[in-house]
């Protein structure tokens, strides 16, 4: 017969309390069941664990077994607690990367709600551009990515998270910022345009022609907005990106839609590796992010 963890637990309870009845009460068993399990343990070891039938004095073997049993029970209970905590999202680590606008506008509220419910989970948040996020996901360096996926292929599991409309960004005193002016793509042609990586997502042919002819291209958003504020040109960015800058000197103007089509928008997706199971904590954080986006969109409509 092999030793079982419950045998050690039963013996340790009796040895600590010194009374069979009290140990049985602690274990939620009958005294006869506890007595039988002790006998099985002693039969297996071939020697008594107690010096008397009253169970209040340990033999030399009993003293040694108690020391070993308590160490093993502590390790076993700690392991079980860690497994159950991980399964219930109470512990663990979630590595997440998001485009800067989402990291700034959505993640603080989402993480705040999440840690209120799961305070033991470690969260690592990084802001990156979409291309870098896709690269980090493919390397397994992050668990969740929030980005514009584009043609990411079948290696990623993708869920639509939100749509972020593009708009013209220019100084508030710019001619295109006149109140009531309904923009057309041809309105942008006479003005110096500053190209950027986000604007490349717009597939409207009239705009692609404008973007391809730009003589100035800026990749960093902070530098790009500084160029616009300095009146070095106009550009096009998603609305959340512009709001993140909180610049009172810039205007955001909705773009013209193509006939029969909706306005140009950046699609933001929740991403993870398709062949890698997500941890319970990561699943719970994903759910909280979706819930936060829904709440923010509902508040914006009020």
**Secondary structure (H, E, C), the chain:** CCCCHHHHHHHHHHHHHCCHHHHHHHHCCCHHHHHHHHHHHHHHHCCCCECCCCCCCECHHHHHHHHHHHHHHHHHHHHHHHHHHHHCCCCEEEEEEECHHHHHHCHHHHHHHHHHHCCCEEEEEEECCHHHHHHHHHCCCCCEEEECCCCCCCCEEEEEEEEEEEEEEEECCCHHHCCCCCCCHHHHCCCCEEECCHHHHCCCHHHHHHHHCCCEECCCHHHHHHHHHCCCCEEEEEHHHHHHHCCCCEEEEECCCCCCCCCCEEEEEEEEECCCCCCHHHHHHHHHHHHHHHHHHHHHHC
**Confidence at residue 229, expressed as pLDDT on a 0 to 100 scale:** 94
Q: What is the pLDDT of residues 37-80, one digit of tens each?
A: 888 888 889 999 898 878 888 999 989 999 999 999 888 888 88
Query: Are 136 and 67 in the same domain?
Result: no
Query: Are 282 and 236 in the same domain?
Result: no
Query: Are 55 and 124 in the same domain?
Result: no
* Mean pLDDT of all residues in 107-135: 93
* Mean pLDDT of all residues in 81-92: 76
Question: Would you place residue 153 in the very low, low, confident or very high pLDDT band (cuts 50, 70, 90)?
Answer: low
Query: Are 53 and 172 in the same domain?
Result: no
Compare 257 and 148 and report the one with higher pLDDT: 148
* Mean pLDDT of all residues in 252-269: 76
Where residue 16 sits, what CATH number does that domain have? 1.10.10.10
Query: Are 181 and 232 in the same domain?
Result: yes
Query: Are 232 and 116 in the same domain?
Result: no
Number of domains the chain contains? 3
Query: Are 270 and 249 in the same domain?
Result: no
Query: Are 171 and 261 in the same domain?
Result: yes
* Mean pLDDT of all residues in 182-210: 90
With 60 as the cut, is the pLDDT of residue 259 above it? Answer: no
* Mean pLDDT of all residues in 156-183: 91
Enclosing domain of residue 78 = 5-87
Query: Are 259 and 276 in the same domain?
Result: no
Query: Are 57 and 174 in the same domain?
Result: no
Compare 136 and 259 and report the one with higher pLDDT: 136
**Confidence at residue 261, expressed as pLDDT on a 0 to 100 scale:** 54
State pTM to two decimals. Answer: 0.69
Residue that is last in its domain, among 67, 87, 107: 87
Where residue 120 sits, what CATH number does that domain have? 3.40.190.10
Q: What is the pLDDT of residues 7-34, one digit of tens each?
A: 888 989 888 888 888 888 888 889 889 8
Q: What is the mean pLDDT of the chain?
A: 88
């Amino acid at each position: 017969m092999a030793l079982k963890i419950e045998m050690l637990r039963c013996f340790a309870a009796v040895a600590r309390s010194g009374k069979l009845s009290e140990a049985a009460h602690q274990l939620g068993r009958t005294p006869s069941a506890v007595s039988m399990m002790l006998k099985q343990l002693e039969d297996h070891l071939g020697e008594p664990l107690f010096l008397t039938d009253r169970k209040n004095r340990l033999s030399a073997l009993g003293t040694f077994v108690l020391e070993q049993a308590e160490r093993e029970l502590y390790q076993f209970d700690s392991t079980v607690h860690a497994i159950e905590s991980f399964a219930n999202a109470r512990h663990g680590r979630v590595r997440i990367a998001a485009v800067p606008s989402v990291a700034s506008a959505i993640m603080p509220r989402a993480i705040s709600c999440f840690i209120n419910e799961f305070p033991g989970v470690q969260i690592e948040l990084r802001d990156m551009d979409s291309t870098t996020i896709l690269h980090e996901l493919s390397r397994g360096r992050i668990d969740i990515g929030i980005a514009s996926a584009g043609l990411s292929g079948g290696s990623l599991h993708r869920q639509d998270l939100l749509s972020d409309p593009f708009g013209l960004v220019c100084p508030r005193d710019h001619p295109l910022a006149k109140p009531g002016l309904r923009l057309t793509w041809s309105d942008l042609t006479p003005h110096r345009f500053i190209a950027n990586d986000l604007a490349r997502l717009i597939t409207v042919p009239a705009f692609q022609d404008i973007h391809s002819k730009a003589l100035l291209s800026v990749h960093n958003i902070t530098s790009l907005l500084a160029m616009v504020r300095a009146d070095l040109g106009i550009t096009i960015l998603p609305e959340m990106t512009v709001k993140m800058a909180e610049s009172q000197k810039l205007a955001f103007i909705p773009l013209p839609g193509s006939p029969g089509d909706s306005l140009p928008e950046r699609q933001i997706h929740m991403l993870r590796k398709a062949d890698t199971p997500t941890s319970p904590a990561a699943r719970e954080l994903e759910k909280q992010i979706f819930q936060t986006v829904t709440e923010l969109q509902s508040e914006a409509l009020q």
